[in-house]
Amino acid sequence: MKKNSSGDRLRALLRECGLTPSDFAAQRRITPQHVNNWFRRGVPLARIDELADLFCVHRRWLRCGEGPKYPSAILRTITSQEPQENVPTSLASQGVQLVKVPYHEIRDGLLVALTGQSLRLPNKALRALGVTTRKAICLSMPADNMAPLIPRDALLAIDLSQTKVIDGETYALLHNGEFRVNRLSLGHSGTLCLHSHDGRSYSVERYTAAQRRAQKLVVLGWVFHWSHFRHRRPR
């Protein structure tokens, strides 16, 4: 009988997100022993869909290791550690030309640049993603709804030119003047659906075109990079 290796992929996903097994167990409200059992025996079939949604990976990949890992090729170029031809696997500097992406904040519902503050990113990486520097900005993650994938206060890089909604991608939004970050999809009759990575604490929100206008819900741009510090040193 072929070994269920989904536990190995779960372990790797936790490492990618900077989560310890104990942190993950607490977040999913299960015991650490459950997580250890899943590492050894594989993720139970009844939990595959839940965890695939949680980590934004394909169910088939998590269950049996077959097919693409991520639903989107764009997302994969950002997060995958597998080398890909002509595409940088990381936005970290590797001795290439760096460009400044300016920090911004939201004031009274408007984007305001912070003078003299910027994040340096490799120009080659931005070009590979189709991002022009004059349309790229940085903002801080405003809430916990995308944790543990994107923790609160993580640094976000946003492409203001990419406002077309592609299902499953992560976008920066303005909602009644408040800054938000969600994965987006389009439902029936063009209804805009806002998804959080933490699906247990945050339910899916749906807005018709009329509701979007009334609540001033605007897509600012595509979130193409995020980075953050760990919250504590290992014990």
DSSP letter for 88, please: -
Average pLDDT over residues 190-218: 93
49-88, pLDDT tens digit by residue?
888 877 778 888 898 888 888 764 433 433 433 333 344 4
pLDDT tier at 3 (50, 70, 90 boundaries)?
Answer: low
pLDDT of residue 156: 95
Binned at pLDDT 50, 70 and 90, residue 94 comes out as very low
Q: What angle separates helix 32-41 from helix 6-17, to the nearest 10 degrees?
A: 130
Look at residue 234 and tell me if it is in a domain.
no
* Separation between Cα atoms, residue 94 and residue 142, nearest integer Å: 29
13 in any annotated domain: yes
Q: Which residues pair with 194 in a beta bridge?
A: 184, 205
Q: Is residue 75 part of a domain?
A: no
CATH at residue 112: 2.10.109.10
Q: How many residues does the chain have?
A: 235
How many angstroms separate the CA atoms of 191 and 207, rounded?
5
**8 A C-beta contact, residue 104 and residue 221:** no
Indicate the residue among 69, 89, 115 that finishes a domain.
69
**86 residue type, one letter:** N
Q: Tell me: pLDDT of 106 over 70.
A: yes
- Tens of pLDDT, residue by residue over 32-50, are 899 999 999 999 988 888 8
C-alpha angle 12/15/16, rounded to 5°? 90
Whether residues 179 and 216 share a domain: the answer is yes
Residue 92 resides in a domain: no
Q: What percent of the chain has pLDDT over 70?
A: 87
Q: Are residues 108 and 221 in the same domain?
A: yes
For residues 205 and 221, give the distance between their C-alpha atoms in angstroms, rounded to a whole number: 19
The boundaries of the domain holding residue 135 are 98-227
Q: Quick one: 53 and 134 in the same domain? A: no
pLDDT at 95 > cutoff 60: no
Domain count, the chain: 2
| Cross-strand pairs, 158 | 137, 223
Question: Quick one: 210 and 123 in the same domain?
Answer: yes
Cβ pair 169, 72 in contact under 8 A: yes
pLDDT digits 0-9 by tens, 141-194: 999 999 989 999 999 999 999 999 999 899 999 999 999 999 999 988 889 999
Residue entry with tokens 């003078």: 115
Q: Are residues 25 and 138 in the same domain?
A: no
Residue 196 — φ and ψ, nearest 5°?
-105, 150
| Strands (E) located in 57-163 | 98-107, 110-122, 136-140, 155-159
* Half-sphere exposure in the Cβ direction for 126 (13 Å, CA): 23
